[in-house]
Amino acid sequence: MLKALAAVIAVIFGSVSVPCSAPPTSDQPETRELPIIMYHQIYKNTKGKYIVSPQQLEDDFTAILQAGFTPVFLSEVVNWVDGYGTLPPKPIVITFDDGHYNNMHYGLPIAQKLGIKFMINPVTSFSKHTVDSNDHSNPNYSHLTWNQIRGLVDTGLVEIGNHTHRMHRFKPRFGIMKMESESLDEYIAALMEDIESSQNFIEGCLVPRPLTFAYPFGKYSKTSRELLLDMGFRALLTCNEWVNNAVQGEEKTLHNLGRFNRDGHWSSERLLKALDTEAR
């Protein structure tokens, strides 16, 4: 009885420590939700699943900023995952696939007006045809020339990714997928040759060698993913529509990145709702 009373008194007057829960630790790696938007073409008087108007693009960019998002380059995300640099609380990546000249003609002035960073993933054989034919700078059908790609990067608002050289096709192979008629070795050799050709064309524009690869039509396989990573790509873009979670120190979180196709029939409000994990 006396021992019990002494223990109570000791607790009251602080001579005995009372067990408490351990303080929270910061061992958990830092994480960022990372939505990515996929645009294609910009036309003045046409809307479609892969087409937006200049006004829609400006409305999107304005809405994105008003919602608190900060557009960043994927190279910045890669660096952050590696432990270098910082990311804003609500990063977002804006991409344009295929390398249409209208991305520059209509999109760049809007991006400059609002301070928006974005990525273009050109199909380099399309650009080569534009250069070889000398039929360029038409927003209705042209693709970016080498000089235009370099000029875009020089603005500080544009980063370039890889979207293959000649494999943005349905036939004889579907995108970068293996054909039934070829062996695994033949497939790997064909894929490496095409992608390296594209890398060389892009580097020939005197811009950084791309770290990002965008799958044509969003089609990929385990073999293609492993080959692309072996070739030095750090971020792989699919057409799966989900919001990504980039985790510092975990590079695998960049190997299967989802993107939301910006359908021209959508409003900017609907686009933002798709990007909001809490609203969906």
- SS3 string, 63-123, reads HHHHCCCEECCHHHHHHHHCCCCCCCCCEEEEEEEECEHHHHHHHHHHHHHHCCCEEEEEC
Average pLDDT, 10 consecutive residues per value, the chain (280 residues):
42 40 63 98 93 98 97 98 96 98 98 98 98 97 98 98 97 96 97 98 97 97 97 98 97 98 96 76
Q: What is the pTM of this model?
A: 0.89
CATH superfamily placement of domain 31-275: Glycoside hydrolase/deacetylase (3.20.20.370)
- State the pLDDT at residue 26: 56
Question: What's residue 5's pLDDT?
Answer: 40
Residue 13 has a pLDDT of: 39
- The confidence score (pLDDT) of residue 209 equals 97
Task: Region of 232 please: left (phi>0), alpha (psi -120 to 50) or beta.
Answer: left
Q: Domain-by-domain residue ranges, the chain?
A: 31-275
Please classify residue 8 by burial: count the beta carbons closer than 10 Å to its beta carbon, then call 0-12 exposed, 13-18 middle and 19+ buried.
exposed
pLDDT value of position 217:
97
